Structure 1
Amino acid sequence: MDAPRGERDPPDVRQNRIHAERAKRERRWRLLFTKYTVNPYYPIHMIAKKPMAWHENIQEPVDDEFLKFLHRAADIPRRKYPMPQTESQEIGWHTTPLVPFDHSDTRFYFPRSTTEITIHGYPAPRGEKSQE
């Protein structure tokens, strides 16, 4: 039967070890942040200053570290990272052609050409009427 309300069974030793090990692992990976800054990846809406307010017209020194964060956040991923960070970044990451481009090679170079057949409808997409 169940124990009376005031008495409890001793805690399970095995369960206590599991809880202690989990707490120890969680404490190992916990990071303590003591320096708080504005998130450089969050867009900030700038509001115009009031011209007659004396406290807003004080010139403050520019924080170079914060400016580096802002410029890095606005930079494209190919300049930020040496390799793609996600699967979707892998598409289009390497844009240099595998074969050097040569205008005389007809396998890879297809210039737009006009013939007697294509000249009839050529001016039409520009809004001009074709000459008949």
Structure 2
Amino acid sequence: MATPSRAKEKEPVDIVHQNAIHVETILKEQRCQKLYTEFTINPFKKLHVLPDKPMSRKMHEEVEEDPAFLKIIHGAHSEPTKKYTHPMTESQEIGWISTPLIASDRTDRRLNFPRQNSEVTKYMDAAWRLKEQTQNR
């Protein structure tokens, strides 16, 4: 029964060993770190520009537009079919290829069924128009 009391006793803390573990952890973290020195705005986040106060008399200075930044912003806000070569998700696969498989020919009677009016449809169109006019009064 002496073994359970021995298990509760911990070995003394070895400060040198803990320091070596800490130094190794820091070196691993520094190996993966990357220092960013150039600031850029995230083009995928909404950009809110705050105007000056309405009663301020400060002269507005003209700022030159950066064409590279504008290209990135416009590219981020374009449709997915223009951004990527293939769909990124399963739901994008539906409607990804939106071009028709065959060219549309209005003169071909096999594929084109224009709206045709008969006496009954002309009568009902007139009746619906009359009903709408009476309701709008």
- Range class of TM-score, shorter chain: 0.5 to 0.7
The residue type paired with residue 69 of structure 1 is: I
Consecutive unaligned residues in structure 2, runs of 5 or more: 1-5, 14-23
- Counterpart of 1:2 in structure 2 is 7
TM-score by length of 2: 0.62
- Quick one: structure 1 residues 104 and 63, their matched pair in 2 at CA, closer, same or farther if it must change by over 3 Å? closer
- Counterpart of 1:79 in structure 2 is 82
- Counterpart of 1:64 in structure 2 is 67
User: CA–CA distance in 2 between the matches of 1:38 and 1:82?
Assistant: 25
The residue type paired with residue 92 of structure 1 is: G
Deviations 1:56-86 (A, max 9, x none): x223332222211211122111222222222
Q: Larger C-alpha radius of gyration, 1 or 2?
A: 2
- Quick one: structure 1 residues 97 and 27, their matched pair in 2 at CA, closer, same or farther if it must change by over 3 Å? farther
Aligned to 2:115, which of 109, 112, 115?
Answer: 112
Residue 75 of structure 1 aligns to a residue whose secondary structure is: coil
User: CA–CA distance in 2 between the matches of 1:121 and 1:6?
Assistant: 96
Higher relative contact order (CA 8 A, sep 6+): 2
Residue 57 of structure 2 is aligned to residue 52 of structure 1: yes
Higher helix share: 2
In the TM superposition, residue 111 of structure 1 has moved relative to its aligned partner by: 0.9
User: CA–CA distance in 2 between the matches of 1:65 and 1:75?
Assistant: 16
Aligned to 2:105, which of 102, 112, 115?
Answer: 102
- The number of aligned residues is 113
User: CA–CA distance in 2 between the matches of 1:84 and 1:53?
Assistant: 49
TM-score by length of 1: 0.64
Aligned to 1:32, which of 18, 31, 34?
Answer: 34
Residue 120 of structure 2 aligns to a residue whose secondary structure is: coil
- Quick one: structure 1 residues 66 and 84, their matched pair in 2 at CA, closer, same or farther if it must change by over 3 Å? same
Consecutive unaligned residues in structure 1, runs of 5 or more: 9-19
Structure 1 runs of 4+ off > 6 angstroms? none
